[in-house]
Amino acid sequence: MAKYKLEYLWLDGYKPVPNLRGKTLIKEYDNFPTLDQLPNWGFDGSSTKQAEGRSSDCVLKPVSVYFDSTRKNGVLVMCEVMMPDGVTPHVTNARATILDDPGAWFGFEQEYFFYKNGRPLGFPESGYPAPQGPYYTGVGYRNVGDIARQIVEEHLDICLDAGINHEGINAEVAKGQWEFQIFGKGSKKAADEMWVARYILQRLCEKYAIDVEYHCKPLGDTDWNGSGMHANFSTTFLRETGGKEYFEALMAAFDAAKAEHIAVYGPDNHMRLTGLHETQSIDKFSYGLADRGASIRMPHSFVKNGYKGYLEDRRPNSQGDPYQIASVILKTIESVPTV
Ligand code: ADP
Ligand code: MN
Ligand code: MN
Ligand code: MN
Ligand code: MN
């Protein structure tokens, strides 16, 4: 028997994007607990914009569990927020709106900035560092500074220990900007892991007195790149059958649902989707082969294989909620007949 520290994580009711919250429950188990051994728990929803003070109890329902290598007997427990009855999803529970589909695969590319004292890490106290160019996938103190890579590597190891399916990491175009990619099979897996990876990154940065800036254009209208969270997706039908006709019908549905998608693709996206810096402008929808200026990019492999494989929606931004993003993408896909 050992006393485990169960860190229950959930998303609060802040708009337009939720924040991560977490609190610890101590419980005794013979072995590392499995999902079905974790009880529902509760919290004060009046402190998280999820309830009124008079009846403030919200329920935490565990949905996935991860090893926490940073803490003795540590466990990370991702939760959905439920109503007091324990079965009705709370209105802020976007995960519950994702269509259940084991054949749906998502890969998210999370870009973000490290911030120190209100400026990107590595920026001088006033003015700007040398213009972007050498920073993307760069090496050397001049390009990546002295501490960023240490944090990035530590984050990667904690995530891999947790069982999170990272596919890669890279230094990004702006100084102080980085990316990691997470891939998951099943409609909710990559989104769960993205939220837990964000949690791990933010918690890790506490000890360095550094913040993670997820805003999509923290440097405003300058020549510094913004941050996205490209959503790569596929379904069993897209991977195994696909075809030009189906693809074109799918893209017509994406075009028609443009506003619904943009509404959940992250705040202030008009600052980032300008038609410049490898983006399409926010009020247009387009797709193209290997086209990083399109809303949706078809990889070469997709066209070569007869319009089969995965697609990249380049519009979601770094601050977007992967639950809401996966939800709307699957809803639009579902609206297109496959025969
Ligand atoms: P780029 O920066 O060129 O867009 P990345 O390698 O950063 O490419 O991201 C591409 C991502 O696509 C991978 O990390 C992976 O998660 C995702 N991906 C690959 N194959 C599939 C697939 N069949 N379905 C969904 N996502 C996929
Ligand atoms: Mn208390
Ligand atoms: Mn990438
Ligand atoms: Mn990138
Ligand atoms: Mn990409």
List, for residues 77-114, the tens digit of each pLDDT value: 999 999 999 999 999 999 999 999 999 999 999 999 99
Q: How many CB atoms lie within 10 A of CB 235?
A: 21
Which CB contacts under 8 angstroms, 24+ apart, belong to 282-285? Answer: 282/315, 285/254, 285/255, 285/258
Atom 14 in ligand 1: residue holding the nearest Cα: 181
Q: Which amino acid is at 231?
A: A
Average pLDDT, integer, range 246-257: 98
Position 56 scores a pLDDT of 84
Atom 1 in ligand 1: residue holding the nearest Cα: 109
Question: In whole numbers, what is the pLDDT of the chain averaged over residues?
Answer: 97
- What would the pLDDT profile of 289-308 be if each residue is shown by its tens digit? 999 999 999 999 999 999 99
Position 279 scores a pLDDT of 87
pLDDT greater than 80 at residue 204: yes
φ/ψ bin of 72: left (φ > 0), alpha (ψ from -120 to 50), beta (otherwise): beta
Contact present, 199 and 74 (Cβ < 8 Å): no
pLDDT greater than 90 at residue 339: no
ipTM score of complex: 0.95
Atom of ligand 1 nearest to the CA of 292: 4
- What would the pLDDT profile of 255-295 be if each residue is shown by its tens digit? 999 999 999 999 999 999 998 878 889 999 999 999 999 99
pLDDT greater than 90 at residue 5: yes
Q: Are β-strands 166-171 and 20-29 bridged in parallel, bridged antiparallel, or unpaired?
A: unpaired
Output DSSP code: residue 26: E
Structure tokens at 181: 């990619």
Pocket flag, ligand 1, residue 324 (CB < 6 Å): no
Structure tokens at 18: 């939720």
Structure tokens at 120: 């990107």
Cα(299)–Cα(309) distance, rounded to whole angstroms? Answer: 9
Instruction: State the ligand closest to the CA atom of 111.
Output: 4
Position 219 scores a pLDDT of 96
Confidence of residue 52 (pLDDT cuts 50, 70, 90): confident
Pocket flag, ligand 1, residue 178 (CB < 6 Å): no
- Predicted model pTM: 0.97
**Over 149-172, what HEC string results?**
HHHHHHHHHHHHHHCCCEEEEEEC
pLDDT greater than 80 at residue 190: yes
Pocket flag, ligand 1, residue 230 (CB < 6 Å): yes
Q: Where are the beta strands (DSSP E) in the chain?
A: 2-11, 20-29, 41-44, 57-68, 74-82, 105-116, 119-120, 166-171, 177-185, 211-213, 229-234, 287-289, 296-298, 311-313
Position 55 scores a pLDDT of 80
Position 277 scores a pLDDT of 79
Position 170 scores a pLDDT of 98
Position 131 scores a pLDDT of 96
Between the CA of 202 and the centroid of ligand 2 the distance, in Å, is 23
